[in-house]
Amino acid sequence: MVRNRESGRYTGSSLLIFRDGQEAYFGCDGQRSVAQGLPYARDTIARIYSMTKPVVSAVLAMLMERGLVRLEDRLSDYIPGFADCHALLPGATDEAQVEKVPSPTLTQCLTHTSGLTYGFNPGLAARIYEREKVDFGPRMGVLADMCDHTAAQPLAFRPGTKWEYSVGIDVIGRVIEIVTGQPLDRVLREMVFDPLGMADTGFCVPAGKQARLADCYTKTPDDPLALLDPAGKSAFAEERVSMFSGGGGLVSTLDDYMRFGEMLRRGGELDGVRLLGPRTVAFMRRNFLPGDIASLGAESFMEMPMAGMGFGLGGGVLLDPALARMPGSVGDFGWGGMASTYFWTDPVERLTVVYFTQLVPSSSYPSRVELKALVQAALVD
């Protein structure tokens, strides 16, 4: 952490490691706000962006356990707008070059094989998303309307034929709302955050906690640590957040997210509270792809290596550390966020690791691979 700050990569960061259910390491370094001279602390609140995805995927798995959804259900079973899906033809140069395709399944949305995409990805479909403002940001309206808008855009490819990082789990968030009859923020609070004691995790930051929210920075050609959005903290004020993004909307703290990670590592239970059955968690952590991500021709933004890495329900699964060029155990499960945050659970070494910093994009530096190497090197028994 100190080296990252001293080299000018980040203004600061924090790290929490549990092994065998006990705290093995905690450290903070640097500043969560350079302008205000505020240090990173254990209770610093960070934007976790795509680390929201495993949480929402776990909730869908909970609904699956209750018999309320099936993973092979199609989006059109819940959101009528997805009943008439069209995908761009391979090599399409015009958005009129499409073919009618089946609606994506819930599994395909959870594993980024649905044909949905992100506006920052390469390709024609992403350019359409960018033009049409398919964006699940905190002030971009409400989830129901944005999902309908997303359904009106062509898919990047026929569902199930490729892997492309996408808004699929944002759409899963809407499915959860429809099944439960409640807004996603309330569902997550009642089904995950309250049972696990995650008091500082949510889609907004209450006024009394705003001072604990870290500033977010971005790497630009002119400034490696430019302030991303001077109004960024106020964007998370309770009265300003209208969109509950299941793919990237949450904020959290080290200890809160550690409780979620430890719940997964322990097979769905923590401190006597069971959210999921152990066999369901083992199912989530399996690779749902026919091979690794690289074998599906992935070209999109990816927060982890593609070779040697598979994908489970809402997170990456390490299949072959040598192919991934990343130390770790077969079966590691976790994911990161756009602001360079990261977590993983290791069933072999009985580890859960949560790392927070705030720099966009997460591809700026290979910090995650470096962190895994450091953690693996520290294990001597």
Please tell me the distance from the alpha carbon of residue 172 to that of residue 232, in angstroms, as a whole number. Answer: 26
Q: What is the mean pLDDT of residues 143-171?
A: 98
What's the chain's length in residues? 381
67's CB contacts (< 8 A; 6+ apart) are none
* 366 upstream amide cis, omega within 30 of 0: no
Q: Which of 164, 171, 161 is nearest to 101 (CA)?
A: 161
Q: Which domains does the chain have, with CATH numbers?
A: 1-380 (3.40.710.10)
Instruction: Flag whether pLDDT at 303 surpasses 80.
Output: no
- Measured from the Cβ of residue 21, the count of other Cβ atoms closer than 10 Å reads 12
Q: What is the mean pLDDT of the chain?
A: 95
Tell the burial category of 349 from Cβ atoms under 10 Å away from its Cβ (0-12, 13-18, 19+): middle
Give the pLDDT score at 220.
93
Q: DSSP letter for 354, please.
A: E
- Both tokens assigned to 361: 């994009």
Give the pLDDT score at 240.
82
Amino acid 192 reads V
Q: How confident is the model at residue 96 (pLDDT cuts 50, 70, 90)?
A: very high
Q: What is the mean pLDDT of residues 345-367?
A: 95
- CA atoms in the 13 A half-sphere facing the CB of 267: 5
User: What are the tens digits of pLDDT across the range 255-302?
Assistant: 999 999 999 999 999 999 999 999 999 999 999 999 999 999 887 665
Q: What is the mean pLDDT of residues 92-109?
A: 97
Residue 202 near residue 185, CB atoms below 8 Å: yes
Q: What is the pTM of this model?
A: 0.96
Higher pLDDT: 60 or 3? It is: 60
Instruction: Flag whether pLDDT at 68 surpasses 60.
Output: yes
Instruction: Flag whether pLDDT at 46 surpasses 90.
Output: yes
Instruction: Flag whether pLDDT at 127 surpasses 70.
Output: yes
DSSP string over 256-321: HHHHHHHHHHTTSEETTEESS-HHHHHHHTS--SSS-GGGGT--S--SS-STTEEE-SSSEEES-H
Please tell me the distance from the alpha carbon of residue 321 to that of residue 245, in angstroms, as a whole number. Answer: 32
User: What are the tens digits of pLDDT across the range 217-240?
Assistant: 999 999 999 998 755 566 787 778
